[in-house]
């Protein structure tokens, strides 16, 4: 039985098989929507600023 995952764009159930050339997406449309969001920099990891009184490794001075 193949693994089934949720499409990251629309949430539709998708079989994770070599036959699905769009995996993990359900279609080319969902793949393109995700690519557009990535190109517009909608995905980001928030930066954490260390306290001023800490060394680079985070230990207090």
Round to whole Å and give the CA distance between 50 and 24: 36
A 10 A CB-CB count for 5 gives 16
- To the question of whether residue 47 is assigned a binding role by annotation, the answer is no
Round to whole Å and give the CA distance between 41 and 44: 7
- To the question of whether residue 10 is assigned a binding role by annotation, the answer is yes
- To the question of whether residue 5 is assigned a binding role by annotation, the answer is no
- To the question of whether residue 7 is assigned a binding role by annotation, the answer is yes
| DSSP 3-state of 23 | coil
Q: Which residues are annotated as a binding site?
A: 7, 10, 26, 30
Binding-site entries for Zn(2+)? 7, 10, 26, 30
């Amino acid at each position: 039985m193949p693994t089934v995952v949720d499409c990251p764009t629309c949430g539709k159930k998708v079989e994770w098989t070599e036959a699905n050339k769009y995996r993990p997406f359900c279609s080319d449309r969902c793949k393109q929507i995700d690519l557009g969001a990535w190109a517009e920099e909608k995905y980001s990891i928030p930066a954490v600023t260390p306290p001023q009184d800490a060394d680079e490794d985070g230990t207090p001075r």
